[in-house]
Amino acid sequence: MSPPSSTHPDPTAGEPGRAASTPAAHSTSAAVPTRPRRTTAQSDIHETILHPGNVRINVQGAFIVSDEPTTPRSDDYEHDPRDIRLPNHTAVVSHVAVDARNPLTIGGSLAKLVYFSREPEESSLGGRLNFLKFETDRIDSCIEFMRKLQADYRRQNGSAPEELCVMATGGGAFKFYDKIREALGVEVIREDEMECLIIGLDFFITEIPDEVFTYREESPMDFIPYPPQPPSIYPYLLVNIGSGVSMVKVSGPRQYERIGGTSLGGGTLWGLLSLLTGARNFDDMLKLAEKGDNSTVDLLVGDIYGAGYNKIGLKSTHIASSFGKVYKMKCAAEREAEDGCNGDHYSEHDHVPGSSELPHPPAKFRSEDISRSLLYAVSNNIGQIAYLHAEKHNLEKIYFGGSFIGGHAQTMHTLSYAIRFWSKGSKQAYFLRHEGYLGAVGAFLKRQPRNWGRRGSFEGR
What's residue 90's pLDDT? 83
Query: Which residues pair with residue 99 across a beta bridge?
Result: 112, 169
Work out whether strand 84-86 and strand 78-79 pair parallel, antiparallel, or are unpaired.
unpaired
What's residue 298's pLDDT? 94
Residue 5, pLDDT above cutoff 80:
no
Residues 94-115, mean pLDDT to the nearest whole number: 74
The fraction of the chain above a pLDDT of 90, given in percent, is 47
What b/e readout covers 287-314, taking b as 16+ CB neighbours within 10 angstroms? ebbeebebbbbbbbbbeeeeebeeeeeb
Q: What is the DSSP string of 265-282?
A: SHHHHHHHHHHHS---SH
In this structure, of 59-68, 75-84, 168-177, 356-365, the range with the lowest mean pLDDT score is 356-365
pLDDT tens for each residue of 49-65: 344 444 578 888 999 99
pLDDT tens for each residue of 141-150: 999 999 999 9
What b/e readout covers 20-41, taking b as 16+ CB neighbours within 10 angstroms? bbeeebbeeeeebeeeeeeeee
pLDDT tens for each residue of 296-322: 999 999 989 989 988 888 999 899 999
Bond preceding residue 230 cis, omega within 30 of 0: yes
The secondary element (H helix, E strand) that includes residue 167 is strand 165-169
Distant-in-sequence, close-in-space partners of 277: CB < 8 Å, separation ≥ 6: 285, 288, 367, 370, 371
* 84 vs 280, more confident: 84
Work out whether strand 63-64 and strand 78-79 pair parallel, antiparallel, or are unpaired.
unpaired
Mean pLDDT, the chain, as a whole number? 79
The secondary element (H helix, E strand) that includes residue 328 is helix 326-338
Nearest to 210 by CA among 26, 396, 399: 26
What's residue 353's pLDDT? 53
Q: Give dist(CA 60, CA 7) in Å, integer.
A: 10
What's residue 85's pLDDT? 94
Q: Give dist(CA 328, CA 239) in Å, integer.
A: 35
Q: Give dist(CA 388, CA 247) in Å, integer.
A: 11
* 172 vs 190, more confident: 190
The fraction of the chain above a pLDDT of 70, given in percent, is 75
What's residue 72's pLDDT? 64
* 357 vs 13, more confident: 357
Using CA atoms, how far residue 244 sits from 241, 264, 269, 283, 381, in Å, is 6, 6, 10, 18, 12
What's residue 426's pLDDT? 94
Residue 344, pLDDT above cutoff 90:
no
* 5 vs 243, more confident: 243
Residues, the chain: 461
In this structure, of 128-132, 284-288, 327-331, 387-391, the range with the lowest mean pLDDT score is 327-331
CB atoms within 10 A of CB 338: 13
Residue 434 near residue 204 (C-beta atoms within 8 A): yes
Residue 281 near residue 354 (C-beta atoms within 8 A): no
pLDDT tens for each residue of 349-405: 444 455 444 444 445 789 999 999 999 999 999 999 999 999 999 999 999 999 889
Q: Give dist(CA 218, CA 410) in Å, integer.
A: 13
Residues 338-349, mean pLDDT to the nearest whole number: 52
What's residue 123's pLDDT? 66
What's residue 330's pLDDT? 79
pLDDT tens for each residue of 439-453: 999 999 987 654 545
CB atoms within 10 A of CB 451: 12
Residue 39, pLDDT above cutoff 50:
no
Query: Which residues pair with residue 398 across a beta bridge?
Result: 237, 429
Distant-in-sequence, close-in-space partners of 346: CB < 8 Å, separation ≥ 6: 337, 359, 360, 361
- In eight-state DSSP terms, residue 422 is H
Written as one letter, the residue type at 41 is A
* Backbone φ, ψ for residue 320 (5° rounding): -85, -35
Residue 111, pLDDT above cutoff 50:
yes
